[in-house]
Structure 1
Amino acid sequence: MKRGTAVRVAAVVVLAPLLTACSAEHDPLFVTGTAAKPTLAWRDCPAAKGDGITEAALYEWDDSSTVDDPGRTLWHIRATHGKTLSRRIPLGTAPDGFTTERPLTATLDPGTTYALRANMASDDQISGFLTFRLEQLAPGRVVFGESDAESRTDYDARDDEEFGCFTE
């Protein structure tokens, strides 16, 4: 890994918890599905009823990318009405009630790193950010945190508090 890349990756790892709820080890945003059909998703927090994704964007992450400037925007959607919510969104689509700000016209490449950013309805301060590669996706696996990948079973077994999901 190049030195500049290592610094940027370290910055993402350090800043990612600041983008989410306090004391969270990982943000609740994750990618699931397959390389052919990736889906962004948000971990369900039992105490956050009626919450969901209201905005999402996909970026092409490169050597000059940072959390504040994640690269070229490939796809961007936004809820048309503030109360429109979704917890699972196939990349490149706009669920009912969402407006496509930038359609996904590029074919995603397995050798490219991508960044995802999503905002939640519950609070303008609650957002998720992660990087991933299509080669990390497979049925029954998720990519979360900063490119951490594991089985869906192991992911679901993690304590909700690791994702900022607190009961109070």
Structure 2
Amino acid sequence: MKWGRSIGVVVLALLLSACGAQFTPLFVASGSSGPVIGWRECPGAKYDGITEVALYRWDRDGTADDPGELLWHIKASDGVALHRIRLGIAPQGFTTRHPLAVELEPTSTYALRANMSSDDLVSGFLTFQPRQLAAGRVVFSDGDEESRTSYEDRDNEDFGCFND
């Protein structure tokens, strides 16, 4: 199973880099009810969205395949995909595989791993600290952070979204 995930992450990285993508579409942002996990929507794309997401306590020696201790994991039923999911909650159509039973510490580092619906091999991975999630802030890619406005203003091609 780990080999399959490793190959998937490598395939995603190769696909996104070959297409000129600088960042993965996965992000985490502040929300009115707590952190929100998101997948950047590509204009005109059909059937994309998050179908599975897991939160880990980042291990200093962790990797995308083995990020550390699993803290929370949800997975969608067939045909369900969302672009925004509140961290720690299983929205309608998702099943909790591992409930979130701890409070996140502001200065600890956590990892998010998500799969999207358009292809089981397409996944996103990022690390973040909750203190980065001040109101109006977004953390994406390799822990990069910026205002939600600056993030939304970035060119979609930076995230692998290309117009035909």
TM over 0.5, shorter chain: yes
Structure 1 gap ranges (5+): 1-14
Identity of aligned residues (%): 56
> Which of 13, 17, 35 does residue 18 from structure 1 map onto?
13
1:127 aligned to 2:123?
A: yes
Q: Is the 8 A contact 2:12 2:123 kept in 1?
A: no
Q: Is the 8 A contact 2:42 2:161 kept in 1?
A: yes
Q: Is the 8 A contact 2:107 2:131 kept in 1?
A: yes
Q: d(CA) in 2 for partners of 1:47 and 1:166? A: 9
- What is the TM-score of this pair, normalised by structure 2? 0.87
Match of residue 45 from structure 1: 42
> Which of 84, 89, 92 does residue 85 from structure 2 map onto?
89
Q: d(CA) in 2 for partners of 1:147 and 1:138? A: 14
Query: CA 1:52–1:84 in 2, change beyond 3 Å: closer, same or farther?
Result: same
Q: d(CA) in 1 for partners of 2:118 and 2:142? A: 23
Alignment map for 1:100-139 (pairs within 5 Å): 100-139=96-135
Shift of 1:133: 0.2
Shift of 1:49: 2.4
1:80 aligned to 2:77?
A: yes
Alignment map for 1:58-69 (pairs within 5 Å): 58-69=55-66
Query: CA 1:162–1:90 in 2, change beyond 3 Å: closer, same or farther?
Result: same
Q: Is the 8 A contact 2:30 2:133 kept in 1?
A: yes
- Superposed CA offset, 1:22-74 (max 9, x none): 43110000001159711100111013123110000000002121111110110
Q: d(CA) in 2 for partners of 1:20 and 1:139? A: 33
Alignment map for 1:141-156 (pairs within 5 Å): 141-156=137-152
- What is the TM-score of this pair, normalised by structure 1? 0.85
* Number of residue pairs matched by the alignment: 153
Q: 1:18 is matched by which residue type in structure 2?
A: A
Superposed structure 1 runs of 4+ greater than 6 Å apart: none
1:27 aligned to 2:15?
A: no
Q: d(CA) in 2 for partners of 1:86 and 1:48? A: 13
Q: d(CA) in 2 for partners of 1:139 and 1:103? A: 25
